[in-house]
Chain A
Amino acid sequence: MPIVSIELPHVGESVVEGIIDRWLKKPGDRIKRYDSLVEVVTDKVNMEVPSPFDGVLTRILAEEGATIPMGAVIAEMETDDPAAVAQISKAPEEKVAGTVGVLVESNTNLGPTGAAVAEEPPAKPVSTARGAFYSPVVMKVAQEHNVDLSQVTGTGINGRVTKKDVLSYIESGAKTSAPTAPRPATEDDEEVVELKPVRRMIAQHMVQSASQIPHVWAMVEVDVTNLVSLRQSVREEFQKREGQDITALPFVIKAVVDSLKENPSLNSTWRDGKLVLKKRIHIGVAVSAPDGLVVPVIHDADTLTIAGINGLLRDMAERARQGKLNLDDVQGGTFTVNNTGALGTLLTQPIINYPQAGILTTESVQKRPVVINDAIAIRSMMNICLSFDHRILDGFEAATFLQSVKGRLENVGPDTPIY
Chain B
Amino acid sequence: MARSLNPPRPFVRSLEEDLMTVKSIIEAIREAMHEEMAADTRVMVLGEDVGTRGGVFLATQGFIDDFGENRVIDTPLGESSIAGVALGLAFKGLRPIAEIQFSDFWWYAANQILGEASRVSYGTNGNLSAPLVVRIPYGGGVRGGLFHSQNIESYLYNTPGLKVIAPSNPYDAKGLLKSAIRDNNPVIFLEHKKIYRAVRGEVPEDDYTIPIGVADVKRQGDDITLIGYGLVLHYGLEAAANLEDEGVSVEVVDLRTLRPLDKDTILSSVKKTSKVLIIHEANTTGGVGAEVSAIISESAFEYLDAPISRLCGPDIPTMPFAPTLEDAYMLNTEKITVALRELAAY
Contacts and interface: CB of A to CB of B under 8 A. Distances in A.
Interface stretch (B23-31, B91-99, B191-199, B308-316): B308-316
A113 B328 contact: yes
Interface stretch (B123-131, B155-163, B180-188, B296-304): B296-304
Contacts of B284: 116
A300 to B, nearest CB: 31
Contact of A137 (B302, B312, B324): B302
Contact of A140 (B303, B327, B338): B303
A126 B305 CA distance: 12
B324 A103 contact: no
B311 A112 contact: no
Given A103-B315, A162-B305, A126 B346 contact: yes
B335 interface: yes
Contact of B345 (A103, A106, A113, A157): A157
Contacts, number: 67
A123 to B, nearest CB: 8
A272 B305 contact: no
A77 to B, nearest CB: 31
Contact of B301 (A102, A136, A138): A136
B314 A272 contact: no
Contacts of A163: 274, 305
B142 interface: no
Contacts of B302: 136-137, 139-140
Given A110-B314, A110-B328, A157-B345, A138 B307 contact: no
A86 interface: no
Interface string B278-307: 000000100000000000000001111111
A375 interface: no
A111 interface: yes
A114 B330 CA distance: 8
B325 interface: yes
A125 B307 contact: yes
B317 A114 contact: no
A157 B335 contact: no
Interface of A: 101-103, 106-107, 109-114, 116-117, 123-126, 135-140, 156-157, 160, 162-163, 272
Interface of B: 274, 284, 301-307, 311-317, 324-325, 327-330, 334-335, 338-339, 345-346
Give 7 nearest A-B pairs by CB, closest first: A114-B328, A116-B314, A163-B305, A106-B315, A135-B305, A137-B305, A140-B302
